[in-house]
Amino acid sequence: MSDFQAAASKFPEFSADDVEKFVQTFKSMDADGSGSIDAAELGAVLRSLGEKATPEEVRAQIQEVDTNRSGTIEFNEFLGIISRLRAGKASSDAGFGKTFTKQSKVVTVGGSSDSIAHSFSEDEKESFVDHINMELGTDADIGKRFPLDSHDMSIFEAVKDGLLLCKLINYSVPDTIDERVLNIKAKLNQFEIVENQNVCINSAKAIGCNVVNVGAQDLMEGRVHLVLGLIWQIIKIGLLSRINLSNHPELYRLLEEGETLDDLLKLPVEQILIRWVNYHLKNAGSKKRIANFGSDIKDSEAYTILLSQLDPNRCTTAPLNESDLHKRAELVLQNADKLDPPCRKFVTPKAIVAGNPKLNLAFVANLFNFHPGLAPLSEEEKAAIDEALFGGEGDREARAFALWLNSLGIEPFVNNLYEDLKDGLVLLRAFDKISPGSVQWSKVNQNQPITSKFKRLENTNYAIVVGKSLKFSLVGVGGQDIEDGNKTLTLALVWQMMRFHVLSILKSISKDGRDISEDEMVAWANNTVKKGGRDSVMDSFKDPKLASSIFFLDLMNGIKKGIVNYDIVAAGSDDAERKSNAKYSISIARKLGACIFVLPEDIMEVKPKMILTFVGALMHVALAGSQ
């Protein structure tokens, strides 16, 4: 049962045809395919419908529907307002009821959600295509496709074979995909295209994209709103992934009085960038401050001052003498183009004046990556950062667990595993996903933000109760530990949730519907290798022989004969060969359709937890494909 069907099952008054239409309308409003409608998406829909809604009016419409106070509209809330409309308990002439009524008519007339998505994503589409042309134009495999025309629909045709998006993922987060697994010949058959799209979607998940409602067929059809949403997520992740203390230790300069490095590390990257802009505004002696990348940017004042701080010799504050905001924005971008290297990218004068938050975020992130303008650190300051960054354990596990939670399609999105689980809501929503019905929602405090420590503790204590009801080993783990952000105990809980999920999926597709043990997983893997005509063996998930990845390649060969090119498999006798094999194994798994979050280092170091999830994902693909 899909998430949409599960939500609809709570509204028996809707027929199957009704639900299908509602899903189509919902998807037309959910531009990035994340499974929820946020303020930016609702505002875009309103503009496309000719409605001039202020940000406050957009937020008011969301609040009208947003029963769990997440700040977005999920499908169950969407159905709730429709139910009230039909019962005469809500108006179709005002608020969200009016928006739904108008949008559903547009989708019905247009026959496709894409007919509406194009009209409100034009600026972003042009910006994304310009970026793709610039960064992929010299690619050895697909460079001849470029430049794409940013003013037409070429991009939606160009993504259909999966190669462009795979290349974009590797540009944004290098080495995510081992390109040896890609099908790159001139004429690809349908099967080869599906393999490429599987690599794309599963690799997008692995870098943190939310692709709950995106499938290979959607990309093969060039579905406009889903393609643009995925492209934006890939670009955004690439831009923001470099903004951290590891790459930019000088971010230390942004600490405010009374703050610790831990406080800074907890901030979302968008907030760090806002703080960075304000840092330079303050140093310039300006009273101007920004709190967002939308309305606070429109007059170009912040940009003018920021650029003059980053390079006063090339960028003056002369644009502030121009009263016409479009002309002023153009002067700002001319200044950005004078930088070395130039940074006139992502935004146009129109986008600045319109306060487009996506494009402004991209512009500022790109600007920071090339011109941070922060003083180098002393040796003492560097030592403090080293301790903060490398003094703890479990960073790779935390990354994998956060990506897994996000892959479930729950809200809010998890950026920092320890911080974002403190109120218990993500944990409880995850429990409800992996074990439907395990959470009694009447016992949960859902109105976010949950500022009361007592209410947060009620949620985290209840999460521990739910975990124990599922036979988790939680001796010595309490709700207080989760609310405190205790790293070791948070990892212990989430690992058991992830393991439970893997084993539950395998149970659901096993022939007799019984539990699958770890020993049975090992036995299945060994038998599958043998059936494929190979002779490698795994003793357990801790077997040091696994470090070479040869067993995993043999396993995937057993699942699908011929998918492994053994001519490029190394013996695994040194770290370089082991890493090459591990990268190849991970990309082959994604080509098969496996959803995995393991890193090459996890295989090379034989991390048992991550090895279990890897084998479990492959077992799922194999068993599901045999049914």
pLDDT in tens, 304-323: 999 999 999 999 999 999 99
SS3 percent helix, strand, coil of the chain, rounded to 5, is 60, 0, 35
Q: Is the pLDDT confidence value at 390 over 80? A: no
pLDDT digits (tens, 9 = 90+) for 46-88: 776 666 667 777 788 888 878 777 778 888 888 887 777 777 7
Query: Which is more confident, 70 or 581?
Result: 581
What three-state secondary structure class fits 74?
A: strand
pLDDT at 186: 86
pLDDT at 322: 95
Q: Is the pLDDT confidence value at 408 over 80? A: yes
307 near 332, Cβ under 8 Å? yes
**Rounded average pLDDT over 325-330:** 96
* Distance, CA of 415 to CA of 422 (rounded, Å): 12
Query: Which is more confident, 31 or 191?
Result: 191
Inter-CA distances, 160 with 117, 224, 388, 558, Å: 18, 11, 44, 29
H/E/C letters for each residue in 180-200?
HHCCCCCCCCHHHHHHHHHHH
pLDDT at 396: 82
* Distance, CA of 477 to CA of 493 (rounded, Å): 8
pLDDT digits (tens, 9 = 90+) for 154-186: 999 999 999 999 999 999 999 999 999 999 998
Q: Is the pLDDT confidence value at 611 over 60? A: yes
22 near 12, Cβ under 8 Å? no
Query: Which is more confident, 12 or 116?
Result: 12
| Element (DSSP H or E) covering residue 36 | strand 36-37
pLDDT digits (tens, 9 = 90+) for 227-264: 999 999 999 999 998 898 878 889 989 998 888 887 88
**Rounded average pLDDT over 491-519:** 90
Based on its alpha-carbon atoms, the radius of gyration of the chain, rounded to whole angstroms, reads: 25
- Domains identified in the chain and CATH numbers: 3-112 (1.10.238.10), 122-240 (1.10.418.10), 259-370 (1.10.418.10), 392-501 (1.10.418.10), 518-625 (1.10.418.10)
* Distance, CA of 130 to CA of 346 (rounded, Å): 8
402-441 CB burial, b ≥16 within 10 A, e <16? bbbbbbbbbbbbbbebbebbbbbbbbbbbbbbbbeeebee
Share the mean pLDDT of the chain: 88
Q: Is the pLDDT confidence value at 17 over 90? A: no
Alpha helices in 408-452 (DSSP H): 417-420, 425-434
Confidence of residue 393 (pLDDT cuts 50, 70, 90): very low
What three-state secondary structure class fits 394?
A: coil
548 near 576, Cβ under 8 Å? no
- What single-letter DSSP state applies at residue 129? H
What three-state secondary structure class fits 73?
A: strand
Cα–Cα–Cα angle for 392, 395, 397, rounded to 5 degrees: 130
| Stated length of the chain | 627
- Considering only CA atoms, which of 355, 366, 372, 362 is closest in space to residue 236? 362
pLDDT at 394: 56
> Inter-axis angle of helices 395-407 and 608-625, to 10 degrees?
30
Q: Is the pLDDT confidence value at 151 over 90? A: no
Confidence of residue 119 (pLDDT cuts 50, 70, 90): very low
- Considering only CA atoms, which of 581, 575, 539 is closest in space to residue 556? 581
Could you give phi then psi for residue 169, rounded to 5 degrees? -60, -45
pLDDT at 52: 65
pLDDT at 95: 77
The whole-model pTM stands at 0.74
* Distance, CA of 401 to CA of 208 (rounded, Å): 11
* Distance, CA of 404 to CA of 494 (rounded, Å): 10
365 near 172, Cβ under 8 Å? no
413 near 32, Cβ under 8 Å? no
Tokens read off for 331: 């002067």
Q: Any idea which residue has 């994503």 for tokens?
A: 121
31 near 41, Cβ under 8 Å? yes
